Amino acid sequence: MHVIARICNDFPTKFGLPRQSGLVPGLQSRIVLEKEYRIPQALRGLEGYSHIWLLWEFHQAKRESWSPTVRPPRLGGNTRMGVFATRSPFRPNPIGLSCVKLEAIVQEAEGPVLIVSGADLMDGTPIYDIKPYLPYADCHPEATGGFAAEVMDHGLQVEIPEEILSLIPKERHEALMGVLAQDPRPGYQQDPDRIYGFSFSGMEIRFTVKGQVLTVCQVEKIEK
């Protein structure tokens, strides 16, 4: 197995990342191929597809051992399910699978770069393969969603005071609002008085959640 590319985006850590691909369409990422794979011919024909599959590695969730059961965040972090009935990063093999929208293929100094939206990978994640999404084979409208569908939520109402919103670049507003609406908190943390925070696009975003309302209370630029 060889790493063929790495993803570049606004999430230096896993906290705050969407829990599944496609949940935040406004979140854009760049897929930069490793040097030996920066061959335009390898991407010939890919521009004809609207979506692609990414096979990647949970590179920050490697463990020497594995557990047959895990506690999915969607169930509050307290109920155990079989690891193969979940998309938990803690697996026998740390392999991730995501379907993202292919926005464009652009030529940059480092070679062809894929611009995608809706990814749930953190910055620097190694990618092992890229495959086209085939609607006639990959789309199953009749599919059932197991316990994940049973506990589906409708997201949070996000409130950002104007004086705080003005500190965030306008081109990042849509992506950040989408991420916050998905409720970035760990499933087992529901303290309305707690201030949570995560890094996004060079900023530390701090917020509280009371009921179904998430309020951003502070934004600070991260000093490099």
| Pair of tokens at residue 205 | 């975003």
CA pair distance 64, 21, nearest whole angstrom: 27
φ and ψ of 223, to 5 deg: -80, 130
**Predicted local distance difference test score (pLDDT) of residue 149:** 77
197 - beta bridge partners? 206
Burial class (CB in 10 A: 0-12, 13-18, 19+), 121: buried
CA pair distance 10, 123, nearest whole angstrom: 7
What is the DSSP secondary-structure string of 78-105? -S-EEGGGS--S-SSS-EEEEEEEEEEE
pTM of the model: 0.90
- Strand intervals (E) in the chain: 5-8, 28-33, 51-57, 69-70, 81-82, 95-108, 111-117, 126-132, 157-159, 196-200, 203-210, 213-221
**pLDDT tens digits, one per residue of 34-74:** 999 999 999 999 999 999 999 999 998 888 889 999 988 77
Which residue from 22, 54, 24 is spatially nearest to 172, judged by alpha carbons? Answer: 24
**Predicted local distance difference test score (pLDDT) of residue 152:** 60
Low-confidence ranges of the chain (pLDDT < 70): 150-154, 224
Could you tell me the sign of the dihedral formed by the alpha carbons of 77, 79, 80, 83, in that order? negative
**pLDDT tens digits, one per residue of 89-100:** 999 999 999 999
**Predicted local distance difference test score (pLDDT) of residue 147:** 82
**Predicted local distance difference test score (pLDDT) of residue 97:** 97
**Predicted local distance difference test score (pLDDT) of residue 151:** 61
Contact 5, 112 (CB under 8 A): no
